[in-house]
Amino acid sequence: MKVLIKKNYREVSLCAALKVAELVRSKPAAVLGLATGKTPLGTYRHLIRLHKKGLDFSRIRTFNLDEYLGIGLALDKSYARDQSYARFMHEEFFKHINIPRENIYIPDGLTKDPEEHCRWYEEQIRKEGGIDLQILGIGRVGHWAFNEPGSSLDSRTRVQPLAMETQDDNYKKFYKKAGIPREDMPHFAITMGVGTILESRAILMIGTGAEKSVIVSKALEGPVTTEVTASSIQIYKGDALVILDRQAASRLSDSRFNQVQE
């Protein structure tokens, strides 16, 4: 695992985008694993800028980590109350780049048969040849995707109840602004499993802000535990790159992790 510490959110986002762009250039039909949330937004904005300068996504395939159960919609529509990750991805990234609709995979929050859908999703990842680079944030509870505390490190794509802290965080970040009452926030999601994520060929984890500092140090330096599913990065066998800003890295004690790179 390699850890890069950058000055601030902007530098983290730029560095992460350059890593993704490097892969897109060297492997034009690469399979990217994508994350939602506040953290990767800056990365997507830089990638959109690079696309405007010629970065080509026309053969790229993408798999998103997760989606709330019970909401979702066709990617080209938009409803004020819809807080689906499908909509988030469309608004924040896909509609600004040249990726064909059929190359985009996001779990379907409106599926009638979630179990079958989860099996299908795993099957599509295999059929597309596996994920070359998985982008990950980290939640305050230490989750990767919606692998909440207690999720097995072997887990596969499945329906997962959301931890109360996750519901509170995501309500504040996304639902409240849209005027949606707290009780309408979904309590379940479809998420890729930790085992699914660990099969990616490379991982790019990004973490920013002081509120992530405790959980980042637990994930990178604490015990590997199902209570902090991001700690599984310590047993990951592929290429892992972690990019943090100074604040998120501020509680790391290992001196290898203490170098700020300008």
Least spacing, CB of residue 74 vs ligand PGA, in Å: 24
Using the rule CB under 6 A, is 107 a contact of ligand PGA? Answer: no
CA distance 176 to 185: 9
Which of these ranges, 3-11, 132-140, 197-205, 249-257, lies near ligand PGA under the rule CB under 6 A?
A: 132-140
Total residues contacting ligand PGA by CB under 6 A comes to 8
Cβ–Cβ contacts within 10 Å for residue 167, how many? 16
Least spacing, CB of residue 121 vs ligand PGA, in Å: 18
CA distance 88 to 75: 9
Per CB under 6 A, the list member of 72, 109, 114, 139 interacting with ligand PGA is 139
Both tokens of residue 171?
């309500």
Q: Which residues are CB-neighbours of 136 under 8 A, at least 6 positions away?
A: 33, 35, 65, 144, 145, 197, 203, 204, 205, 206, 230
Residue nearer to ligand PGA on the CB measure, 117 or 212 = 212
Using the rule CB under 6 A, is 39 a contact of ligand PGA? Answer: yes
Which residue in the shown chain puts its C-beta closest to ligand PGA? 37
What are the φ and ψ backbone dihedral angles of 239, each rounded to 5 degrees?
A: -85, 115
Using the rule CB under 6 A, is 137 a contact of ligand PGA? Answer: yes
Which of these ranges, 37-45, 77-85, 106-114, 119-127, lies near ligand PGA under the rule CB under 6 A?
A: 37-45
Q: Which residues are CB-neighbours of 104 under 8 A, at least 6 positions away?
A: 61, 62, 75, 89, 94
Residue nearer to ligand PGA on the CB measure, 2 or 38 = 38
Runs of H (alpha helix) within 93-153: 114-127
Chain residues 154-173 in contact with ligand PGA, contact rule CB under 6 A:
173
Using the rule CB under 6 A, is 42 a contact of ligand PGA? Answer: no
Distances (CA, A) of 254 to 11, 105, 136, 142, 176: 22, 38, 22, 19, 38
CA distance 154 to 191: 13
Residue nearer to ligand PGA on the CB measure, 111 or 208 = 208
Using the rule CB under 6 A, is 114 a contact of ligand PGA? Answer: no
The residue ranges that bind ligand PGA (CB under 6 A) are 37-39, 137-139, 143, 173
